[in-house]
Copies of this chain bind each other. A is one copy, B any other.
Amino acid sequence: MIISKTLDYAVRTLTYLGKQPSGKTILMKEIAENQKIPVSYLAKVMRQLVKAGIVISEYGPNGGYSLKKNPSEITLRQVYEAVEGELKMIECFDTPGSICVFTSQCGQADIWYEIETKLVKILEGITIQDIIIRDDLYPQKLNLNKQENKYANP
């Protein structure tokens, strides 16, 4: 699995926020309950999203979270990097402190870099808005999957 739970939480949170009326602030508690995310862990994720400039936080009563940008302006790349850091397929000479003996003759590195570049481009091409649109397509599926859904667990 390449997508961590943390990233999953982040995406779900942003999707949830993106569905709210513009300007409305949402409590962390509400997000956590609605999305079945441990509150105490979500707190950490939210900080990262705030720090990355994707989400706005407000203190005190009537406080909470809201999107800083339009859902169509939040790419999966931004979200990925907010919680995971820069996307890297390999870790070799460009990571300080871990210089590899093979860097001077390593065709493999080039290959992974190329793939990495393609993957980043793909992530850049997809936004939270795209996910919201998909979600909206699902009411029909809901019926088809009712049977499965019975066994669902968080």
Contact = CB atoms under 8 A, between A and B. Distances in A.
Contact of A126 (B90, B91, B111, B145): B111
Given A99-B148, A101-B153, A107 B135 contact: yes
Interface of A, helix, strand, loop or mixed by DSSP: helix
Q: How many copies does the complex hold?
A: 2
Interface in A117-149: 118-119, 122-123, 126, 130-138, 141-142, 145-146, 148-149
Interface of A: 1-3, 8, 11-12, 15, 36, 76, 87-91, 93, 99-108, 110-112, 115, 118-119, 122-123, 126, 130-138, 141-142, 145-146, 148-149, 151-154
B104 A142 contact: yes
A22 B113 CA distance: 29
